[in-house]
Structure 1
Amino acid sequence: MKFLRQLLESIRFAWQALRTNLLRTVLSLLGVTIGIFSIVAVFTFVDSMNMGIREQIDSFGKGVVYVGKWPWVMSNNYPWWKYINRPTMKYNEFKYLSDNLENSQAISIIDGRQTTLKNENNSMETRLMGVSQDYNKISDVLVESGRYFLSNETDNSAFVVILGASVKEALFPNRGDVIGETIKINGIKFKVIAMMKKKGEDLISLGGSPDEQAFIPYTTYASLFQKDQPEPDIAVKAYDWDKGQETLEGEVTGLMRSRRGLKPTQDNNFSINRLDGAVKFFESIFASMNVGGGIIALFSLLVGGFGIANIMFVSVKERTNIIGIQKSLGAKNYFILFQFLFEAVFLSLIGGAVGIFLVWMMSFINFGSLKLVLTVGNVMFGLLTATFIGVLSGIVPAWVAARLDPVTAIRSK
């Protein structure tokens, strides 16, 4: 009980010392404020980018495997010669998988290229995507008005098109509903059957922003654009996106090897890609950014820590006489030590809190497609780091103060 009372008394003395020297307190905590602001801001930006990219990757289809010629993630010793002669995916392979897969809930074949869409005097170069009718069940293609492709439109290579929001605005400026209107693609008239909901800016876009894309039936796309270098992917969605993805991947591998007549000793001449591979790729980048940003911020924290330590030595020098009086009245060494240690920790915590507050204020700034979110984890990390810096900066001055001889301290001026 006595120890607790003296501990509280030490806290009161430390707080009183900070209030008495207000200007010095403010100047002392600036270094820690900058350091905590830097490190929390770096981690907040990286975490926000990570969350944003994860959300956008999920919008391309959870539990989806993509079968294609090329692997998405390439190692440093990437054997390009091994993949360049692989056959491309064929429409009949897509139909074969569609007819034989048992663990898929949707399958689509996809290809795309840059081309120009025209409507009278208006035109726009955009990413034209050829997709089969189940593509909307695999990817986040939100139709705002109109309808998606019918199965007979895919089977019969119909000349119909779905426009992204930006494409619609470029071709039909200041127009509302344009369903039923016609545009020209490669000199051929296409009927507009739907407009996509505006998605806005993305941190990443596989194939470009959906707002700047247009979609036509895959068979129509193949007849118009796949005479030179067709390289479509086949996207297959599992029933259970968490556990069923690996089962689906094994089934697709077996069917593709059977379809292409590969012997047991032969390697796959196709690649099966998963979106979690892209997630791991970005996570490795973000980990490097965290390390780099953390090292830079660490130097700011060290400067702030040295500033607090310097101020604490000055404070010990100024209050040496008072320390001697307290000791002569029976104050224990830990009572003196806690006074200065708490003062250093308070300085650092206040500086850290101000730095975190500044990061929180930054979250209200518009960073375009990046939504800045200050997480509880980053707040706690910042406060714990500030506490650690305070203890580290104050322990030596506090120890020096606690070890002072009371007689010598009283005689000091």
Structure 2
Amino acid sequence: MLFFRLILESFSFALQALRSNLLRTTLSLLGVSIGIFAIITVFTVVDALERKIRDDMSFIGDNVMYIQKFPWQFGGGAYPWWRYFRRPSNTVDEFRYLEKNLQEAQAIALIAGRGGNTIKYRSNSLTAVNVRGVSFRYSEVSEIPVDNGRYFSRQEVNRANNVALIGATIAETLFTSEDPIGKKIKVKGRPFQVVGVMKKEGSSIFGSTSRDEQIIIPYGSFGKLYLVGRKGIEPTIALKGKDNDEGLLKLESNVRGVLRTKRGLKPYQEDNFALNRTEAFADAVSSLFSVLHFAGWIIGGFSILVGAFGIANIMFVSVKERTNIIGIQKSLGAKTYFILFQFLFEAVFLSMIGGALGLLLVYLITFIPLGSIHMTLTAGNIILGLSVSSIVGTFAGIIPALMASRLNPVIAIRAS
């Protein structure tokens, strides 16, 4: 109990010292405030950007592999596109073959898309719409959030019926005060019956990737509108991996063996297709934001270093000013750790107040509108800011606190 009482008294002395030198306290905590503000602001902005990018890239699906001609490449380096250009396109026959023979795929879908379309309903029209043709199990590969109506039936897809799922922006523009379900829109002059409206996603960093201005129709219906194949729009085969297939390694091996057999490739011939995984994009995004996080530490680190030296300087001055009081306390029986904690707590309090002020400024920054990017001061960043502040305060105050705790009481009392 004595130990805890002495700790509380140390807290009390530290608070009194901070209150009695308010101007000095304010000036010394500014460095820490600016440093914490810089670090946590960068982290908050980066977190918001990363969250937005990942949300906007949700259209590529999670745990999904794509069979395409061109491999995805993130970063610099040579890209021999001329080699990939000569590769054969995916076909419906290959899609059916994979659908029948793959063992490691949870679902498989055939996809083809074309942008820049004009969609009409009566006298209303909307340009720059992306039309996407898909097979029935596309909804299992990539989540389709239907807000009103339904997804296609298997019969509608197999029969290539002229039915469509439309994005929220299309519904709002073409059907201002009507329920779109059951109505017919025109795509390249052909009527398509609306069976569903997708949930509104909002604006996207990547522009056309948002489903708000997208129409999804059966793959066979898409083939009625556009030339599909090597001389036209080249389709993509998408495969959903199983949950227990970490990194989709089993699926990749399975697809490579089956597709090489289908295309008649000999053992010494290289693959004439690319297997692109969504994890590759996720890894590229993580690497990019790791660099930005590091930059945040560098930017804020200098301010925190200046703040730490400022706090240390103030604590040395404080020890000098209170040398006589320290001598009296020690002569009356004050323990060494009591003096140590008294100055150490003062330094930590000073630093944490500066950190809290920096976090308050970050919180105010989150109210600034940044379009579709929403910044949030997370609990993790708050804890990080306060933790960094307390560590800075500890290192800045430990040497002055040790000096104060080791003073000779006789010499200290005589100090003027």
Q: TM-score, normalised by structure 2?
A: 0.87
Give the aligned partner of residue 275 of structure 1: 278
1:318 aligns with 2:321: yes
Distance in 1 separating the partners of 2:413 and 2:30: 33
1:258 Cα offset (Å): 0.7
- Tell me the residue number matched to 2:26: 26
Cα deviation digits, residues 191-237 of structure 1 (max 9, x gap):
333222222234557x6101111112222323433365423211122
- 1:241 is displaced (CA, Å) by 6.0
CA spacing shift, 1:47–1:193, aligned 2, 3 Å = same
Determine if the alignment matches structure 1 residue 45 to structure 2 residue 55: no
Does the aligned pair in 2 maintain the 1:88–1:230 contact within 8 Å?
no
Residues paired across the two proteins, number: 411
Contact 2:74 2:281 in 1 (8 A): no
Write out aligned runs for 1:300-315 (5 A): 300-315=303-318
Indicate the residue corresponding to 1:354 in structure 2.
Answer: 357
Q: Shift of residue 93 of structure 1? A: 1.2
Q: Say if 2:346 is the partner of 1:343.
A: yes
TM-score by length of 1: 0.87
Provide Cα deviations, 1:105-140, integer angstroms capped at 9, x if missing partner. Answer: 422111212122232342221221121222122212
- The equivalent of 2:99 in structure 1 is 98
SS of 1:348 mapped into structure 2: helix
Deviation track 1:282-336 (CA, whole Å, cap 9, x = no partner) reads 0001100100111101112122212212222222232233233334445455443
Larger CA deviation: 119-128 vs 320-329: 320-329
Q: Is the 8 A contact 2:56 2:209 kept in 1?
A: no
Q: Aligned in 2, Cα 1:51/1:94: closer, same or farther, shift over 3 Å?
A: same
Q: Do structure 1's residue 398 and structure 2's residue 401 form an aligned pair?
A: yes
**Paired residue for 2:117?**
116
AA matched with 1:10: S
Instruction: Write the deviation string for residues 52-76 of structure 1: whole angstroms up to 9, x where unpaired.
Output: 5445655643332211112223453
Check conservation: 1:30, 1:351, Cα contact below 8 A: yes
2:15 pairs with 1:15: yes
Residues in 2 aligned to 1:339 and 1:103: alpha-carbon distance in whole angstroms: 64
Report if the CA contact (8 A) 2:63-2:279 is conserved.
Answer: no
**In the alignment, which residue of structure 2 is the partner of 1:191?**
193
Q: Which amino acid aligns with 2:94?
A: E
- Alpha-carbon distance between aligned partners in 1 of 2:237 and 2:84, rounded to the nearest angstrom: 17
Partner residue of 1:88? 89
Q: 1:243 to 1:31 in 2, by over 3 A?
A: closer
SS in structure 1 at match of 2:194: strand
Over the residues paired in the alignment, what is the CA RMSD in angstroms? 2.9
- Decide whether the 8 Å contact of 2:56 with 2:210 is kept in 1: no
1:22-54 alpha-carbon deviations (Å, 9 max, x no partner):
343233323222222322232233334445544
Instruction: Assess if the C-alpha contact under 8 Å between 2:68 and 2:275 holds in 1.
Output: yes
**1:299 corresponding residue in structure 2:** 302
Residue pair 1:124, 1:171 contacting (<8 A) in 2 also: no
Separation in structure 2 between the aligned mates of residue 195 and residue 325 of structure 1, nearest angstrom: 79
Which shifted more, 153-162 or 258-267?
153-162
Structure 1 regions of 5+ residues with no counterpart? none
Q: Distance in 1 between matches of 2:154 and 2:387?
A: 59
Task: List alignment gaps of at least 5 residues for structure 2.
Answer: none
Instruction: Name the CA distance, whole Å, in 1 between partners of 2:330 and 2:247.
Output: 71
Check the 8 A contact 1:336/1:398 in 2, yes or no. Answer: yes
Kept in 2: contact 1:111–1:218 (CA 8 A): yes
Aligned to 1:178: 180
Match of 1:145 in 2: 148
Change (3 A) 1:241 1:137: farther
Is 2:286 the counterpart of 1:286? no
For the 8 Å contact 1:87–1:269, the answer to whether it is kept is: yes
Conserved? CA contact 1:60–1:140, under 8 Å: no
1:232 matched to 2:239? The reply is: no
Q: Which moved more, 1:86-95 or 1:224-233?
A: 224-233
Which residue does 1:161 correspond to in 2?
164
Mean Cα deviation higher: 289-298 or 369-378? 369-378
Q: Distance in 2 between matches of 1:142 and 1:3?
A: 60
Distance of 1:200 and 1:58 partners within structure 2: 13
Counterpart CA distance in 2 for 1:75 and 1:367 is 27
- Superposed, 1:199-278 pairs within 5 Å as 199-202=201-204, 208-226=209-227, 228-240=231-243, 242-243=245-246, 245-278=248-281
- Counting aligned pairs with the same residue, the percent is 49
User: What does residue 135 of structure 1 align with?
Assistant: 138
| Distance across 1 between alignment mates of 2:162 and 2:59 | 27
Deviation at 1:8? 4.2
Cα deviations by residue, 1:368-407 (Å, 9 ceiling, x for unpaired): 5444444443333222211111122222333443454545
| Partner of residue 72, structure 1 | 72
